[in-house]
Structure 1
Amino acid sequence: MSVRPWRDIQRRASRQIMVGNVPVGGDAPVTVQTMTNTPTSDPAATIAQIRRCEEAGVDIVRVSCPDVESTAALGQIVRAAKVPIVADIHFHYKRALEAADAGAACLRINPGNIGSSERVAEVVRAAKANGCAIRIGVNAGSLERDLLEKYGEPCPEALVESALDHIKLLQDHDFHEYKVAVKASDVFLAVAAYQQLAEAVDCPLHLGITEAGGLIGGTVKSSIGMGSLLWYGIGDTIRVSLSAEPEEEVRVGFEILKALGIRNRGVRVVSCPSCARQGFDVIRTVQALEERLQHIRTPMSLSVLGCVVNGPGEARETDIGITGGGNGKHMVYLSGVTDHHVQDADMIEHIVRLVEAKAAEIEAADVARAHTAAAQELAAE
C-alpha cells in the first residue's frame, strides 16, 4: 500500500447529483445528514426537531414515512424546512409516490423491496416528475435471503452485490440520480463494503455505521469507521447514527469532518485533559464554552489549556487561546500572540465575547473580499 503525504486527502471521483438544492458528490462539500425520531404524522413536533437540527448546521434531514398519515403530513414539513427532506420508504411503493408528490427531495428506497418492475417504473416516473433523487440503502441487518444463503452471513461481497442489484433496477429504467449506502454496525464490515463499492460504481456514497450505539460509543465507532473512509477520500455525505437526539448526530458529524480538515463550521476547540498543574477547571470551562459557542458558525479555533507546559505552543496555533496561570490570573492569546490577562471570575464571559468579536471580524473580511472580487470582475468587463 502506498503511503500518502500526511494531511493529503484525495477525494474519490464521483458524479454529482442534487438533493433538492444541495449538491452531493463531485466537488461538492461532504454533507451532514440526520434523521428525525418524532412521528412524521405529527408535523409540529417534526418541524420543531428539524429546526433544532438546522440550528446545528444540518444539510439534509431524513424523515420516516411508514404510513399514509406520514406522507399526508410531509408536504407541510417540506414547506417549513429550510433544508431538503428525504422520505424514508421501505416496502410500500405507494408511500414513495405520495412522498414524491408531497415535495420530498429524495426517496430512501431499495427498488428490489417494493415488488414488480412495474412498481419500480412507477416510482422512477414519480421521482423524475418531481425532481427527486433516490438513496439506495443496503443494510447488513436486512440483506436479501438469497444473498444470505449464497454467502452464509453478511459480508462485504454480499452488501456490494445487493447494492449493485438495486442500482441495476434503477438503471434499467434510465434513472441515474441516486446515491448508495452499504451500512453495518460492524465497523470492519462497513468499511470493507464501502471500499469495494467505491471501486465498482461512480455514484455518490452515503456513509454510515448503522446502529452505532449511544452518544459516546456511537461517536467512537462512527469516527473510526467513517473517519477511515473519509481519510482515503471515500464518502460524499454522512449520517452519524446515534441513540441520541438528532442535533447531536449533526454536531458529531461536523466534528468528524473538522478533525480531518474536510469541512469547518464553528469553533474548533483545542483543550487539554487537565491535570494537577491546571490553573483553572479546564473540564468545566470547556463544557461551558462549547455550550455557549454553539451559535457561532464562522470557522475559527480556540485553545483552552490549563497550564504553561503545552499551553503557549498550542495557543500560538489558534485564533484565540488561554493558558492557566497562578493566583487566578490567566494569559489570553490573540492570533497566536500574548495579549492580556483575565481573572477566573471573568474568564468564560470574556472568551465568549472575544470569539464573537473574532467571528464578526472574519465575516466582515469575507464580505469585503467578495465585494472587491465583484468590483474587479466588473472592471475587467
Structure 2
Amino acid sequence: MQIKRRKTKKVRCGSIYIGGDAPIAIQSMTNTDTRNIKETINQIKNLEEYGCEIVRIAIPDMEAAMAVPEIKKNISVPLVADIHFNYRLALKCIENGIDKLRINPGNIGDIQRVKEIVSEARVREIPIRIGVNAGSLEKNIIEQYGMTPKALVESAMNHVRILEDLNFGNIIISLKASDIKLTLDSYKLLSKKVKYPLHIGITEAGTVWRGTIKSAIGIGTLLLNGIGDTLRVSLTGDPSEEVRVGKEILQSLNIRSFGINFISCPTCGRTQIDLVKLTKKIENALKDIKLPITVAVMGCAVNGPGEAREADLGIAGGKNSALLFKKGKIIKKVPEGEIVDAILREVEKVVQND
C-alpha cells in the first residue's frame, strides 16, 4: 500500500532535490575532525558506497571551513555545513561551495549578520536548514511552554520568521528530541503550519542496537503519517550504520527500493535445517543485487510456500534439503548443499530478464 506524503516545497540541495515529489533522501554526518581532510573524505566516500545521499560535516572553526573546497572536490554527494552561532563561518562555507547550511538565524545575533548570510545563500541558491533540538531550546520558550511540542514548534517558527522577513524561502526544518512522542507530536504540529520540507529523525537515539529500534519507531511513524522529506538515523557508532538503517526503514515501508526485499521466518520446532546459517549465507550472497524483488527463506515446507506466496522467489527448508518456490508455487526440491547456488541461479534469471 502506498503512503501518501504531505505536499511540501521542492528545494534543491546540490545535485538532488528535497521535498515535493523528490524521493525521501537519506542523510548522515561524519564523525571525523573536518580539519583532517583526508580522513573526512575517506569517510564520506564510504558513506557514498553505502548509499548515503547527503552528508553533513561539523564546522567548528575557520580551518574547518577552509577544508570545504578540497572535500567537495573529492566527493559526489551534496555537502552540508553544520554551524553554530558564527556567521563568518557560514559566509566562508558559502564562498567555498557548500551545498546547504545548517544554522539557526536567531542564534547569530545582529540581524545584519543574518542578512549577509541570506544574501549570499540566495545568489548561490543554497538552502538553510533550521534545526531545533529539544536539548537546546531557548530559556524564555521553555519558561512559557515547558518541554512540549509547542515549545519546539515556536522555536522553529521564530527562526523561520527571520528568514521569511528577509524574503528567503529556501528553507528546510527539523525538530528533534530523544523522546519519541515529543518528536512525533512536534512534527505533526509543525506540518500543519508550514509547507517547507522536513528533515526527520530521533536525535541522540543511542547505540546501534537501541538507536535502531528507537529510530525505526519514530521515523517509521512519521513516514506512515506522510511526514518527512529527508531523514537521518542518529546512532552512536560508524555512520555507515545510519545509512543502512535508514534504507531499511524506507524499504520496509515501500517508500523506496534499494534492492532485494529479504524476508525470513523466526524458525520453530518443525525446522529441520540450520536456517540461521542458511539465511545469513543467502542474504550475504544477494546483498549487491539491486533488483527490487522479494526473496523468502522459510523454515519448513508445512507453512513456508503458503506464508511467503507473495515472494518472487523463496525456499522452504526440509530435512537436509529445501523446496524452491516462486510466488508460492513449488518448482523443485534442492539438496541442502546446493540451496544457495539454486537461489542465486534463479535470481540471475530474473535479473537477465529484467
TM-score of the two chains, using structure 1 as the length reference = 0.88
Q: Tell me the CA shift for residue 358 of structure 1.
A: 2.9
The answer for the alignment partner of 2:211 in structure 1 is: 218
Q: Tell me the CA shift for residue 336 of structure 1.
A: 4.2
C-alpha separation in 1, matches of 2:76 and 2:327: 35
Q: Could you say what secondary structure the match of 1:200 adopts? A: coil
Residue 198 (structure 2) pairs with residue 195 (structure 1): no
Show the 5 A alignment for 1:89-238: 89-151=83-145, 153-238=146-231
CA gap of 1:34–1:305, structure 2 versus 1, over 3 A, is same
Deviations 1:109-144 (A, max 9, x none): 111111110111111122123321111100000101
Deviations 1:13-39 (A, max 9, x none): 111111112111111111111111111
Show the 5 A alignment for 1:1-381: 7-151=1-145, 153-326=146-319, 328-362=320-354
Amino acid at match of 2:293: M
Q: Tell me the CA shift for residue 289 of structure 1.
A: 3.3
Q: Which moved more, 1:12-21 or 1:182-191?
A: 12-21
Q: Tell me the CA shift for residue 350 of structure 1.
A: 4.0
Q: Which moved more, 1:337-346 or 1:199-208?
A: 337-346
Contact 1:16 1:204 in 2 (8 A): yes
C-alpha separation in 2, matches of 1:77 and 1:133: 19
Q: Tell me the CA shift for residue 357 of structure 1.
A: 4.6
Q: Could you say what secondary structure the match of 1:288 adopts? A: helix
Q: Could you say what secondary structure the match of 2:122 adopts? A: helix
CA gap of 1:42–1:354, structure 2 versus 1, over 3 A, is farther
C-alpha separation in 2, matches of 1:348 and 1:75: 46
Amino-acid identity (%): 46
Contact 1:315 1:322 in 2 (8 A): no
TM-score of the two chains, using structure 2 as the length reference = 0.95
Amino acid at match of 1:74: V
C-alpha separation in 1, matches of 2:140 and 2:248: 39
C-alpha separation in 2, matches of 1:112 and 1:309: 63
Contact 2:299 2:317 in 1 (8 A): yes
Q: Tell me the CA shift for residue 310 of structure 1.
A: 2.6
Q: Tell me the CA shift for residue 352 of structure 1.
A: 3.9
C-alpha separation in 1, matches of 2:92 and 2:283: 41
C-alpha separation in 2, matches of 1:344 and 1:114: 65
- Gaps of at least 5 residues in structure 1 are 1-6, 363-381
Q: Tell me the CA shift for residue 349 of structure 1.
A: 4.3
C-alpha separation in 2, matches of 1:314 and 1:44: 50
Q: Tell me the CA shift for residue 359 of structure 1.
A: 3.5
Amino acid at match of 1:277: R
Amino acid at match of 1:72: M
Deviations 1:201-225 (A, max 9, x none): 0101111110011112111111111
Amino acid at match of 2:321: K
Amino acid at match of 1:348: V
CA gap of 1:251–1:352, structure 2 versus 1, over 3 A, is farther
**RMSD of aligned residue pairs (Cα, Å):** 1.7
Contact 2:273 2:299 in 1 (8 A): yes
CA gap of 1:8–1:292, structure 2 versus 1, over 3 A, is closer
Q: Could you say what secondary structure the match of 2:64 adopts? A: helix
The answer for the alignment partner of 1:4 in structure 2 is: none
Contact 2:322 2:336 in 1 (8 A): yes
Q: Tell me the CA shift for residue 79 of structure 1.
A: 1.9
CA gap of 1:348–1:243, structure 2 versus 1, over 3 A, is farther
Q: Which moved more, 1:157-166 or 1:142-151?
A: 142-151
Amino acid at match of 1:122: E
Q: Tell me the CA shift for residue 360 of structure 1.
A: 4.5
C-alpha separation in 2, matches of 1:286 and 1:279: 14
Q: Tell me the CA shift for residue 168 of structure 1.
A: 0.8
Amino acid at match of 1:298: L
Deviations 1:154-185 (A, max 9, x none): 21000000000000111121111111000000
C-alpha separation in 1, matches of 2:36 and 2:14: 23
Q: Tell me the CA shift for residue 335 of structure 1.
A: 4.8
Amino acid at match of 1:200: K
C-alpha separation in 1, matches of 2:202 and 2:288: 28
Contact 2:205 2:235 in 1 (8 A): yes
